[in-house]
Structure 1
Amino acid sequence: MTYRRGSLAVQRRVGVREAAEHVGRSVGSGIRDIAAAFLAQQPFLVVGAADEGGRLWASQLTGPPGFVRATGAHRITVSGGVPEGDPLAGVLAAPGTAVGTIALDPRTRRRMRLNGVVDAGGGGGSAAGASGAAGRFSVEAEQVFSNCPKYLQKRQPLALEPEGAGVVRRGGSLTPGQEGYVRAADTFFIATTADGGVEASHRGGFPGFVEVRSPYELSWPDYPGNAMFLTLGNLATDPRAGLLFPHWESGALLQLSGRAQTEYAADGSRTVRFTVEAVIESRHPGRLRWSGPEYSPANPPVAAAPGGDHRGSTTR
């Protein structure tokens, strides 16, 4: 794998270049049979991209298993389109759009990432068509790889919710209810970009690992991972980011777009600060509902908040 300049800079700063080179050898552009089979079993896919105005977002697309599938050695096709009102509804049909995707299976704690560009021959149709039920788009893969199950909470599917109001609230900052939503989260997805490419990645921990500093600012610790530093590397080059907080039990989604930066402490720890610029809360028809979590054994304890309010725990 050829790392982008930002990732190389972070790897050198943290002292993991040798480990990153080793991990990078597992990244390819081809979709192996085992990866194709994994994709065909998934009921949702997270996609990161920039909207028409350049804001970065992470969106969740859902459908019956098979709605996302490998249609070639270097290509996936997503059927069913993007939910009406989603910020990426107008761009995922545009050939050449850079996207990052992540398929995550809460049942097995497995995940797979695929980055590439929307394929002109993918049958996406017009931008308007991408937001309809018959919408479809394909992605020509440039990077395909799996991640370890670290910080993934285990869940079981409950039901598909056929009814919903679609987008229920748009804003430029978090409401008190949305702040509570974020504080209770044990999982979110983050889309980042640099040098013309986009990544979609996962972050997990005990509830409280994401701190709400104000209606306009969040922060979270950067837990040890695979040494690649793709997300932090992108942020070192381009601060734009999109966050997706799924509410697993109801299937509701909270999408945030803004800018992020990484702070490096003297003890080697890292914290990411995110400034909120746009907020979309939605309850789309056809959303997935999941059980409560079986927390990952890798989740670090969450420190007590100011005033002694301990957020999170080391037990379920």
Structure 2
Amino acid sequence: MDTTWHPGEQALQATVGVRERMAEIGPQIVRDHMPDQHRELFGKLPTLLLGAIDAAGQPWATMLAGRPGFVATPDARTMTVTATLDGQDPALAALRAHGPGAPVALLGLEPHTRRRNRMNGRLLALSGEGLSVGVVQSFGNCPKYIQARDPLAWDDTLPALAQPLSAALDDRALASIEAADTLFIASASAPAPGAGRADGVDVSHRGGPPGFLRMEHRLDGGVALWMPEFPGNRFFMTLGNLLRHPRAGLLIPDYARGELLHLSAEADVTWNDDVKGLTLRLTGGLRRPGAFPWRWSEARLAPQFSV
């Protein structure tokens, strides 16, 4: 029995003809511990992406930040994060509500080198000074579609009050979406993910040239986004989750101003010979000015977009 992939992931793997291959290599590439090269990357990161799911079944994505070394791996099955955790962060609020044992998704991405690794696990402890997570799944990702940026300066200004947004958003949020070249998406395999190794929460990266998120204003006053799906590793962790539980949490960082835009959405997966991607009907959001203390250089487009 294949315990690496859940039924949503398996269905899409079968659609593209890689199901048997993924069943064979899954245990080799999705480990229950972090290899040394993953631990080395996590230990020098300036940011860490995190995904969680709240009591209503809504996934949320967020970004934690610190000086390199704020993420540590005391052993191959444990990660600790030492950082001041903002009480306004919706993903952290979800973890506080669930407590130890809550599913947690982590993505370590180094924008200036385009290296990235992922780790999905279970919350061990959470306080105002940080958190610790036990590994369930650890795996690598390729550098495709990542816009390179260099960290330039750290801004110690305290975050401003978070600003709730309706499904219609506002002009500032719409402008952030139009300008975005990077998005992070949190998803879950079920409204209350079980304890199976293939179940839980995931957070992943999506990138494209500015404008790759196509926006549509709906008749009901809401906003829908179309996000194309570019060829990847064929794990289908995000899309497989959304087939089972069609709700997503989006995060759009403003790398120049240090602002985080959190969006909740209902998701439809389109996968046929002609069109592959996600329709995301936004249901609300939260803007957190000053929540992201690093300031970054201008983006250098990924090679896949610069030709």
State the TM-score, normalized to the length of structure 1. Answer: 0.86
**Paired amino acid for 2:137:** Q
State the partner residue of 1:136. Answer: 130
State the Cα distance separating 1:41 from its structure 2 match: 0.3
Sort the Cα spacing of 1:257 and 1:167 in 2 relative to 1 into closer, same or farther, 3 A: farther
Residue 279 of structure 2, aligned match among 273, 293, 315 = 273
Contact 2:259–2:292 under 8 Å retained in 1: no
Tell me the SS of whatever aligns to 2:216. Answer: strand
- CA distance in structure 2 between the aligned counterparts of 1:81 and 1:245, rounded to whole angstroms: 21
Aligned ranges for residues 67-106 of structure 1 at < 5 Å?
67-93=70-96, 94-106=99-111
State the Cα distance separating 1:158 from its structure 2 match: 1.3
State the partner residue of 1:246. Answer: 253
Residue 144 of structure 2, aligned match among 121, 135, 150 = 150
Sort the Cα spacing of 1:95 and 1:274 in 2 relative to 1 into closer, same or farther, 3 A: same
State the Cα distance separating 1:271 from its structure 2 match: 1.9
State the partner residue of 2:303. Answer: 297
State the Cα distance separating 1:117 from its structure 2 match: 0.6
State the partner residue of 2:123. Answer: 118
**Paired amino acid for 2:286:** I
State the partner residue of 2:160. Answer: 166
- Report how many aligned residue pairs link the two structures: 289
State the partner residue of 1:207. Answer: 210
Contact 2:80–2:131 under 8 Å retained in 1: yes
- CA distance in structure 1 between the aligned counterparts of 2:244 and 2:113, rounded to whole angstroms: 34
Structure 2 unaligned blocks of 5 or more: 194-199
Sort the Cα spacing of 1:226 and 1:164 in 2 relative to 1 into closer, same or farther, 3 A: same
State the partner residue of 1:194. Answer: 189
Residue 20 of structure 1, aligned match among 19, 22, 35 = 22
Cα RMSD, aligned residues only? 1.8
Structure 1 unaligned blocks of 5 or more: 125-129, 300-313
State the partner residue of 1:180. Answer: 175
Give CA deviations for 1:92-143 in whole Å, capped at 9, x if unaligned.
Answer: 3410110111010011100010001101xx4x2xxxxx3x3xx221111011
State the partner residue of 2:196. Answer: none
Q: What is the percentage of aligned positions where both structures have the same residue?
A: 37
Residue 265 of structure 2, aligned match among 236, 251, 258 = 258
State the Cα distance separating 1:286 from its structure 2 match: 5.8
Sort the Cα spacing of 1:246 and 1:21 in 2 relative to 1 into closer, same or farther, 3 A: same
Contact 1:6–1:234 under 8 Å retained in 2: yes
- CA distance in structure 1 between the aligned counterparts of 2:87 and 2:30, rounded to whole angstroms: 34
- CA distance in structure 2 between the aligned counterparts of 1:109 and 1:274, rounded to whole angstroms: 26
Sort the Cα spacing of 1:247 and 1:5 in 2 relative to 1 into closer, same or farther, 3 A: same
State the Cα distance separating 1:160 from its structure 2 match: 1.1
Tell me the SS of whatever aligns to 1:231. Answer: helix
